[in-house]
Amino acid sequence: MSTVEQSIDVEVPVSAVYNQWTQFETFPQFMEGVERIDQVSDTMTHWVTEIAGQKREFDAEITEQHPDERVAWKSVDGTTQAGVVTFHRIDPNTTRIMVQMDYSPEGFVEQVGDKLGFVERRVKGDLERFKRFIESRGGNETGAWRGNVEAPPTA
């Protein structure tokens, strides 16, 4: 299992940043390799990706979500990954986005790419593109979902 941690400061209020992040179907506009995301239900998404010629489809479940604070997820089939994105109010017009993701590279090519820092750079680039995306819109998000998803109880 490998871990990626990245953060970026965005010159947009935390509510607008969070609202845009909950619009999963817009992710292909700023996430490299993401072809499509379908919001199946409040807590389920279906992803179609193509990275380095490897096309993958998988479902991911939102395991915890709190407006303006955090969105956590885990894959339920296919690619093994889990993570959390947290949103931190720096000042009224600045938000820090922090991504922490655990994943299991599959096969030789992914393992080599992981050792070379490919995923770390990809996440960093995705955050930079998200920053440009939301800032270029003047902080006007394309939509919002402000529901709560409580974390499952721990054993």
Structural domain boundaries of the chain? 2-20+62-136
Q: Is the dihedral of CA 127, 128, 131, 132 positive or negative?
A: negative
Label the pairing between strands 70-75 and 34-39.
unpaired
**pLDDT tens sequence across 58-100:** 999 999 999 999 999 999 987 788 999 999 999 999 999 999 9
- Residue range 8-20: mean pLDDT, rounded: 97
pLDDT value, residue 95: 98
Distance CA 117, CA 135 (A): 27
What's the CATH fold of domain 2-20+62-136? Answer: Alpha-D-Glucose-1,6-Bisphosphate; Chain A, domain 4 (3.30.530)
**pLDDT tens sequence across 36-66:** 999 999 999 999 988 777 788 999 999 999 9
Name residue 56's amino acid.
R
Distance CA 11, CA 34 (A): 25
